[in-house]
């Protein structure tokens, strides 16, 4: 299926947004990390959740939606990602989203997944930041995708956007990326395990006001 300029504008799926971050901050604030963990033979720094606002932590919430179970819904205004589950519930993750000028909305599917993916800055980003390397190998402590990447396609065409981990836990809950959806590394690993190839993804300006009430949010159940 071909893309028209109107499709790109309306869907926000610009080819120039094939980037995971604005400019990776390789020297992340140490207070956001505590100890290390090992995943698939790679040692990485664990998130210090004692420094993280509780609302950004992974938790189960009441969630009312007409979307099928298993759908991923991203609320960009409130910086939440929901994985819809049974019995009108969802796992809610805090996320970082695109900064002004890089936000996008629409539907896609997770058609590719990668453990410890290589990150290749697109030409447009390297033009803006020539100091960036040609690529960063997966598992490198300087790789901004972290331990997992889930690639979003629409009608078989790569949107250029991903759900992935981050070098900057402090950016969760903020408009910080170039369009990709950032997650705590532990949450990216968790979501990766729960979402098979073909998982539907919907990115919206906001949905939490309709999906869950303030009372329900306050009674959310943490998920380990």
Set 79, 180, 195, 206: catalytic member:
180
- β-pairing verdict for 157-164 and 181-183: parallel
Set 78, 79, 164, 195: catalytic member:
164
- Interatomic CA distance for residues 182 and 32, integer angstroms: 15
> What is the H or E stretch that residue 217 is in?
helix 214-218
Annotated active-site residue 206? The verdict is: no
> Is 112 within 8 Å of 129 (Cβ atoms)?
no
Bridge partners for 93 per DSSP: 81
In degrees, rounded to 5, the angle at the alpha carbon of residue 145 between the alpha carbons of residues 144 and 148 is 150
Burial category of 156 from C-beta neighbours within 10 Å (exposed 0-12, middle 13-18, buried 19 and up): exposed
Q: b/e string for 4-28 if b means 16 or more Cβ within 10 A?
A: eeeebeebbbeeebbbbbbebeeeb
Annotated active-site residue 79? The verdict is: no
Catalytic residue list: 164, 180
């Amino acid at each position: 299926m071909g893309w028209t300029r109107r499709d790109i504008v309306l869907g926000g799926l610009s080819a120039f947004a094939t980037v995971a971050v604005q400019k990776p901050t390789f020297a992340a604030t140490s207070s956001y990390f505590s100890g290390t963990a090992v995943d698939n033979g790679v040692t990485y720094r664990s998130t210090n959740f004692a420094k993280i606002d509780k609302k950004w932590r992974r938790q189960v919430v009441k969630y009312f939606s007409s979307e099928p179970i298993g759908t991923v819904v991203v609320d960009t205004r409130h910086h939440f990602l929901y994985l819809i589950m049974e019995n009108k519930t969802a796992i809610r993750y805090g996320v970082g989203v695109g900064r002004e000028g890089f936000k996008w909305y629409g539907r896609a599917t997770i058609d590719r997944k990668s453990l410890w993916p290589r990150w290749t800055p697109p030409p447009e980003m390297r033009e803006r930041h020539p100091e960036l390397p040609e690529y960063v190998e997966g598992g490198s402590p300087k790789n901004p995708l972290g331990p997992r990447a889930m690639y979003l396609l629409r009608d078989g065409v790569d949107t250029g956007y991903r759900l992935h981990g981050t070098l900057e836990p402090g950016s969760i809950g903020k408009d910080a990326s170039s369009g990709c959806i950032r997650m705590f590394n532990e949450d990216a690993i968790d979501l990766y395990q729960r979402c098979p190839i073909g998982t539907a993804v919907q990115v919206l300006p906001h949905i939490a006001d309709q999906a869950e009430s303030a009372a329900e949010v306050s009674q959310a159940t943490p998920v380990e």
